[in-house]
Amino acid sequence: MAQNVQKVKLSLTLPITCQICLGKVRHPVICINNHVFCSVCIDVWLKNNSQCPACRVPITSENPCKEIIGGTSESEPMLSHTVRKHLRKTRLELLHREYEDEIECLQKEVEELRGKNLSLESQLKSVLDPLTLTAGSQNEERRPAAEERSKAHPETVAEWKKKLRMAHDIYEKVKDDVDKLKEANKKLKLENGGLMRENLRLKAEVDNRSPQKYFPVNTQINSRELHSQRTIKQNCLIEQCTASSFVPPTSACVYYTWLFLLESLKICRELCPTTCGREMKREDLQDKPACRTR
């Protein structure tokens, strides 16, 4: 499987960049995991660390960094053109062989996985076949019963259709009645609101027309009428007194004048009892003349 695959020694063609200085590689050196560095950069790094700066794999004498054949180096310009050509050709052949080996290993893995897949499919079919057979037999047994049920008598079908139509008609009628009742309910609510507002208006008018509001005016009118009636009576008495021959006119005038004042005092008491009445009565009593008889 994947562990049996041989690791490729060279994964890229040069020139490549160093993973330490990020510049062009000079004197390329590669670790076990194919990470390329400059030989100078890796020497400086290994003075303080004993691990690869990229993958942290330990670099020891057993697993050292190795130089790449055919890599670009400072001594490369000193080589002839033919030598450099052969070095690059050798490097490409090595890469080609390594990739071919890797492809062969992958093809072997694919063939093994295909064989396992086929074996699993055969096992799955062997497990599912009894279940499918039993399910098929059950379905075949159920089919006749379903067909018999589906073949109902035409008279029963007609009765069912008739009942369905009747139920649909009843539903439509009930729906119409409900709509009509809703509309009537809305109208009644509106009428009820109008009647309530009219009732409130009438109550307000009755409160404004209550007799308590007009009571002081009525009392004043009644007192004025009473006062006018009494003055008429007093005037009649004075006229009778002056026309009488038995009583002297002067004494009769004084007597009936006193009566007039007394009646006016009573009227004042009825109109404003708090201010009038008592003091005026006392003064009138002091000036009251002696009553003369005929």
What pLDDT digit, counting tens, does each position of 28-40 carry?
888 877 788 888 8
- Is residue 176 domain-shared with residue 276, that is, in the same domain? no
The more confidently predicted of residues 77 and 80 is 80
Contact in structure between 18 and 11 (CB atoms under 8 Å): no
Instruction: State the residue for tokens 């004025």.
Output: 224
Select from 101, 116, 131 the last residue of a domain: 116
The pLDDT-based confidence of 113 (bands split at 50, 70, 90) is very high
Q: Hey, which of 56-70, 99-113, 262-276, 280-294 has the most confident mean pLDDT?
A: 99-113
- Domain shared by 108 and 11, yes or no: yes
Task: Compare 149 and 45 and report the one with higher pLDDT.
Answer: 45
Expressed in angstroms, the distance from the first to the final Cα of the chain is: 168
Q: Is residue 29 classed exposed, middle or buried when 0-12, 13-18 and 19+ CB atoms within 10 A define those classes? A: buried
User: Are 205 and 233 members of one domain?
Assistant: no
Clarify whether residues 186 and 108 are in a common domain.
no
- Regarding whether 69 and 108 lie in a shared domain, the answer is yes
Residue 87 domain-assigned (yes or no) = yes
Do 101 and 194 lie in one domain? The reply is no
Same domain, 88 and 70: yes
Question: Would you put residue 155 in left (φ > 0), alpha (ψ -120 to 50) or beta?
Answer: alpha
Range of the domain at 268: 218-286
Q: Is residue 142 part of a domain?
A: no
d(CA 87, CA 277): 154
Q: Does residue 136 fall inside a structural domain?
A: no
With contact defined as beta carbons under 8 Å apart, do 276 and 241 qualify? no
Evaluate whether residue 143 is within a structural domain.
no
Asked if residue 48 and residue 70 are part of one domain, the reply reads yes
Which of 55, 51, 71 is closest to 63 using CA atoms? Answer: 51
Question: Are 84 and 39 found together in one domain?
Answer: yes
pLDDT for 218 equals 55
Residue 94: give its domain's CATH number. Answer: 3.30.40.10
Kindly report the backbone phi and psi dihedral angles of residue 11, in degrees, each rounded to the nearest multiple of 5, phi listed first.
Answer: -105, -15
Helix or strand or coil: residue 74?
A: coil
Query: Is residue 7 over pLDDT 50?
Result: no
Q: Which H or E run includes 218?
A: helix 215-243
Question: Which of 149, 180, 209 is the endpoint of a domain?
Answer: 209
Distance CA(232)–CA(109), nearest Å, equals 148
Residue 14 has pLDDT above 60, yes or no: no
What pLDDT digit, counting tens, does each position of 129-151 carry?
Answer: 666 656 656 666 666 655 665 55
Residue 69's closest CA among 89, 44, 42? 89
Q: How many domains does the chain have?
A: 3
The reported pLDDT for the residue numbered 3 is 41
Which pLDDT band, with edges at 50, 70 and 90, does 6 fall under?
very low
Q: Is residue 178 part of a domain?
A: yes
Q: What is the pLDDT of residue 98?
A: 81
Q: Is residue 144 part of a domain?
A: no
Query: How many percent of the chain have pLDDT more than 90?
Result: 6
Q: What is the pLDDT of residue 62?
A: 82
112 and 18 housed in the same domain: yes
- For the stretch 153-208, pLDDT in tens is 677 788 888 888 888 889 898 989 999 999 999 999 999 988 899 888 888 888 78
Strand order in the sheet with 36-38: 36-38, 28-30, 66-67
**Token reading at 106:** 């992958």
What is the per-residue burial (b if ≥16 Cβ within 10 Å, else e) of 142-165?
eeeeeeeeeeeeeeeeeeeeeeee
Domain boundary among 85, 116, 147: 116
Which pLDDT value is given to residue 111? 92
Q: Are residues 40 and 81 in the same domain?
A: yes
